[in-house]
Structure 1
Amino acid sequence: MLAIFKNGLVNPPKELHSPASIQLASDRFKTCEETLKEFLSANPNNGFSLGFVDKAILAYAPPTSQPRLFCGVDDVYCTFLGNLNNLCNLNKQYGLSKGGNEAMFVIEAYRTLRDRSPIPAHQVLKELDGAFGFVIYDHKYGIVFAALGADKSVNLFWGVAADGSVMISDNVALVKASCRKSFAPFPPGCMYHSDRGLISFEHPMHKMKAMPRIDSEGTMCGAYFAVDAYSKTNSMPRVGSAANWATWG
């Protein structure tokens, strides 16, 4: 899968930018559009992409190894990697169709919590049992929401391209092609919201810290993010309507 969010829609942590990318600006790196073409050419029979004017591009191809799903409901789109062991119970808990898959559950749970539930996002994500990662794009509200399970069985990577676009993919080569050194693994046990930033849903009271990454050539890359066990947020996570999946703070 490949998600490209144009400059301004997503504001990633500043540490994801690597100074080395500026120094390498004269080198030939692929534009986001070229990386998208590479993704589609690698999947000529079953790959596809969706474009949202100047906001976002989502590309998907059916899995060859680990499970991967894509679906969209009422202008909310989700790519889901992995599987949930407790999907049946979750569908029942949220009053959803028992025949729905993981991507459908994530979308419906997101929409339910966005519109009318006071349950905070980190609490919902901690209820997901399994190996998972997902990216949601809510086109109507201009929201990007991504999360990765804590067990490290599924990998996601994110980076900042030369034009400021943010790319997210399970294929690190695609991200590196356009983001130069400004990329990093998406941190396990964490969620990212385009308005509220990066937070650990495993340890929501603790702040995130950026850890420098040096590649095999000794060049500074985009930072890896981890929970700061010694630093906590100033207040408890909200539990009111302002703490749902759309606007938690």
Structure 2
Amino acid sequence: MAFSHENENPSHPRSIVVMDDIFCIFSGGLDNTFDLRKHYGLSRQATEAMIMVEAYKVFRDRAPYPPDQVIKELEGKFAFILFDSKASTLFLARDRDGSVPLHWGTATDGSLVCSDDSEFIQASCGKLYTPFPPGCIFISDTGLISFDHPMHKVKGIAREDDEGNVNAVIFQVDLYTKLHSIPRRGSAANWAGATTVE
């Protein structure tokens, strides 16, 4: 992971934190930092990056706490990249409006590259990059999901130029395709009228 303040947008500042072998680069700002600090038991000096590390620990350690619930609590304009080095887990997210730039792509060696700098990512990935989809979360264990529609697949649609070369990938929530969910277990009332949706 690399971090700098070069070409930083003053309305979307970047911050970085390393806590408990978890690295987080956060760009943007949260409107509800006071409430989130209180919720996670953090001091008034806690940055947005620190809040994201604590939020990540909640869904990591309190499984099956869904990550979309953690991200839905965030109000503001943001994008972040978080890497848990112990669990080898990568976690990315971007606000619903896509207010803060975040791009991802594939380098020539097959590595995933993420950056808010489109020139850097183009130099690293050539044409194999695209903006990270707004309102989405990517976790290396589970893949790409929408935090507003976590039970539906997010599909990448390739856009081709006149010569048949892929020049962009657009991501959309497929409201007709549901993801498999954890089967409900519990009282007989839960089973009485239950139907299975595939």
TM-score surpassing 0.5? yes
CA distance 1:191–1:100, change in 2 (3 Å): same
Does residue 82 (structure 1) correspond to residue 25 (structure 2)? The answer is: no
Count of residues in Structure 1 that have an aligned counterpart in Structure 2: 181
Alignment partners' CA distance in 2, 1:216 and 1:129 = 41
CA distance 1:118–1:97, change in 2 (3 Å): farther
Q: Which residue of 2 aligns with 1:131?
A: 77
Q: Which residue of 1 aligns with 2:173?
A: 227
Alignment partners' CA distance in 2, 1:124 and 1:115 = 13
Over aligned residue pairs, what C-alpha RMSD do you find? 2.1
Segments of structure 2 that go 5 or more residues without pairing to the other structure are 185-198
Cα-to-partner distance string for 1:137-192 (whole Å, 9 max, x where unaligned): 11111111101110121121000011111100001111111212211110000000
Does residue 194 (structure 1) correspond to residue 140 (structure 2)? The answer is: yes
Q: Which residue of 2 aligns with 1:61?
A: 4
Cα-to-partner distance string for 1:4-24 (whole Å, 9 max, x where unaligned): xxxxxxxxxxxxxxxxxxxxx
CA distance 1:237–1:196, change in 2 (3 Å): farther
Alignment partners' CA distance in 2, 1:124 and 1:159 = 25
- The secondary structure found in structure 1 opposite 2:28 is strand
Query: So what's the TM-score if we normalise by structure 2?
Result: 0.84
Alignment of 1:23-62 (within 5 A): 58-62=1-5
Which one has a bigger Cα radius of gyration?
2
- The secondary structure found in structure 1 opposite 2:110 is coil
Alignment partners' CA distance in 2, 1:210 and 1:107 = 28
Does residue 115 (structure 1) correspond to residue 79 (structure 2)? The answer is: no
- The secondary structure found in structure 2 opposite 1:128 is coil
Alignment partners' CA distance in 1, 2:103 and 2:53 = 21
Q: Which residue of 1 aligns with 2:113?
A: 167
Moved over 4 A (4+): 215-218
Paired residue for 1:147, among 78, 84, 93? Answer: 93
Q: Which has the higher contact order (CA 8 A, sep 6+)?
A: 1
Query: So what's the TM-score if we normalise by structure 1?
Result: 0.67
Residue 117 (structure 1) shift: 5.8
CA distance 1:180–1:80, change in 2 (3 Å): same
Residue 200 (structure 1) shift: 0.6
Alignment partners' CA distance in 1, 2:93 and 2:31 = 17
Whether the aligned pair in 1 keeps the contact of 2:58 and 2:65 (CA below 8 Å) is no
Alignment partners' CA distance in 2, 1:107 and 1:209 = 28
Identity fraction in percent: 48
